[in-house]
Amino acid sequence: MGRAREPLVDAALQLIDEAFVKHAWHGPNLRGTIRGVTAAEAAWRPGPGRHSVWELVVHAAYWKYAVRRRLTGEKRGSFAYEGSNWFPRPDTGDEAAWKRDVRLLVEEHKKLRAVVASLRDRDLDRPASGHRTLARVLVRGIAAHDLYHAGQIQVVKRLRPE
């Protein structure tokens, strides 16, 4: 016997999937913006002190992890890299490392999605574990975060010289 229908959770899943991987009316989602990007392209910076596509990808993975952690009450410190928010990435085209970080983003999305799918509608109107922010605000926010960085990645890709 499956779980009872949870329309608000279903809508939240639709929202985070549309921002990350599903076809959307607005253009590329986050996963779509990096499809076919090489490590050399991902490592390029639009200027000194500016983030590369690669750094944006790991940053997005980190925040998927952070939202999941907040929803579950999991302790800090289990992300793939030490630190938080921004993680320096190679300035060269290491294809294996780039693919590993893209997989990290995809895996963090899957883990976040599984946590959201385990919620009940009533859970969305409760504060996240140890926080004042409501779960629905975190879920809506991570979708907005994905779309914001999808647009940023599109701009960075277009700025890169041919």
Burial class (CB within 10 angstroms; exposed 0-12, middle 13-18, buried 19+) of 107: middle
Question: Is 33 inside a domain boundary?
Answer: yes
Query: Is residue 94 very low, low, confident or very high in pLDDT (cuts 50, 70, 90)?
Result: very high
pLDDT at 3: 61
Share of the chain above pLDDT 90, in %: 83
Q: Is residue 43 part of a domain?
A: yes
Q: Which domain holds residue 91?
A: 10-159
The 10s digit of each residue's pLDDT in 38-77 is 999 999 999 999 999 999 999 999 999 999 999 999 888 8
Range of lowest pLDDT (24-28, 59-63, 119-123): 24-28
CATH code, domain carrying 21: 1.20.120.450
Closest CA to 87 of 63, 69, 110: 63
Domain contains 4: no
Residue-wise pLDDT tens digits, 11-20: 999 999 999 9
Domain annotation covers residue 53: yes
Q: What is the pLDDT of residue 26?
A: 82
- For the chain, what is the radius of gyration of the CA atoms? 16
Predicted TM-score (pTM) of the model is 0.94
| DSSP 3-state of 89 | coil
CA angle 94, 99, 103 (to 5 degrees): 150
Look at residue 2 and tell me if it is in a domain: no
Kindly give, in sequence order, each residue whose CB lies less than 8 Å from that of residue 70, ignoring residues fewer than 6 positions away. 128, 129, 130, 131, 133, 138
Total count of domains within the chain: 1
Q: Give the span between the Cα atoms of 93 and 112, in whole angstroms.
A: 29
Tell me, yes or no, whether 84 lies in a domain.
yes
Look-up of token digits 């004042």: 132
Would you say residue 87 lies in a domain? yes
Nearest to 65 by CA among 43, 83, 39, 53: 83
Q: Which tokens belong to 53?
A: 């596509």
Among 3-12, 14-23, 131-140, 144-153, the minimum mean pLDDT is found in: 3-12
